[in-house]
Amino acid sequence: MTQTLLTLGHGYCAKALAARLLPQGWQVLATHRDPDRAADLAATGVAPVLWTREAVAAALAQASHVLVSAGPDGEGDPALRLAGDLLAARGADLDWLGYLSTTGVYGDQKGGWVDEDTPPAPSTARGKARLAAEQAWSALPGLPLHIFRLAGIYGPGRGPFEKVRQGSARRIVKSGQVFSRIHVEDIAQALEASIRQPRPGAVYNLCDDDPAPPQEVIAHAARLLDLPPPPEVPFAEADLTPMARSFYAENKRVRNDLVKRELGLRLIHPDYRSGLAALLAETG
């Protein structure tokens, strides 16, 4: 029997998961809002589904698995608004539903460690919206819900090398600041592992093993390119967008022990050094 994944929001992580599942014979359906994107999706082997209630209802009738990767907007969770009742009605027939959230729900921990038992305490608008979405999904009865709290995502097309090459990268220094991060391939393999071993109600942190100051990551990227490190800029003097500045408002180290223990996950890139080396090897 063909297994079918419906992705509600076919973004960066959903594309990486689809790339793992399609060669295994899965059918992948993906929503889109722009009719011009349908051909692009179809070219990758993904069946396009227009972001309408009728089209999503028809796709849900086929789906055995659902991944929600569309983030909250100003009115809440768009997938819940569009099809929450349809998903609740279909829930008992689904094998798995994954929701991509963020480690931002833990808020500022002043550099301390968090795990899945740490009470969420978001301080940014973005983190509060994600927690509200988690709670709204959890309130739907009968869904085989799995929540994945993602650290900072990087991977092909999302690395520091281009800015370092162009000379536009900066090493912004805020004393004691660290970020957890994760390569998109490790997100995709974790999602696949959960699909193989579902535990409805599970919450997993997805991050690598090495929370690190952002300026160290940029400096390492420069070393890999055999270029001088970009200049250091004190955080107080950095000209940052409001969103970029909000990332520095929270400081924590995220543990990933649970996903390793329960799903047997072995990270492809356990730290940024491994991940950056792989990106450079891929792109030249």
Structure tokens at 8: 């509600």
Q: Which residues contact 276 (CB under 8 A, 6 or more apart)?
A: 159, 160, 161, 217, 220, 221, 224
Question: What integer pLDDT is reported at residue 61 of this predicted model?
Answer: 96
Banded model confidence at residue 35, pLDDT cuts 50, 70, 90:
confident
Question: What integer pLDDT is reported at residue 1 of this predicted model?
Answer: 58
Question: What integer pLDDT is reported at residue 247 of this predicted model?
Answer: 85
Distance CA 38, CA 261 (A): 39
The strand ranges marked E within the chain are 4-8, 27-32, 47-50, 65-68, 96-102, 113-114, 145-150, 152-154, 171-173, 181-183, 203-206, 232-234, 253-254
Question: What integer pLDDT is reported at residue 2 of this predicted model?
Answer: 77
For residue 48, pLDDT beyond 90 = yes
Instruction: Show the domains of the chain with their CATH numbers.
Output: 4-153+182-208+254-269 (3.40.50.720)
For residue 238, pLDDT beyond 70 = yes
Structure tokens at 118: 């740490």
User: Angle at Cα 167 formed by Cα 165 and Cα 170, nearest 5°?
Assistant: 110
Higher pLDDT, 125 or 243: 125
> What is the CB-side half-sphere exposure of residue 11 using CA atoms within 13 A?
14
CB 28 within 8 A of CB 14: no
Query: Mean pLDDT of all residues in the chain?
Result: 95
Residue pLDDT, tens place only, 112-146: 999 999 999 999 999 999 999 999 999 999 999 99
Measured from the Cβ of residue 40, the count of other Cβ atoms closer than 10 Å reads 12
User: Angle at Cα 265 formed by Cα 261 and Cα 271, nearest 5°?
Assistant: 110
CB 217 within 8 A of CB 276: yes
Measured from the Cβ of residue 145, the count of other Cβ atoms closer than 10 Å reads 24
Percent of the chain at pLDDT exceeding 70: 99
For residue 284, pLDDT beyond 80 = no
Distance CA 176, CA 168 (A): 24
Average pLDDT estimate for 188-213: 98
Distance CA 216, CA 252 (A): 16
C-alpha torsion 134→245→159→126, nearest 10:
10
Question: What integer pLDDT is reported at residue 116 of this predicted model?
Answer: 98
Average pLDDT estimate for 183-206: 98
Residue pLDDT, tens place only, 61-111: 999 999 999 999 989 999 999 999 999 999 889 999 999 999 999 999 999
Q: Which helix (H) or strand (E) holds 64?
A: none
Banded model confidence at residue 36, pLDDT cuts 50, 70, 90:
confident
- pTM for the whole thing? 0.96
Measured from the Cβ of residue 9, the count of other Cβ atoms closer than 10 Å reads 19
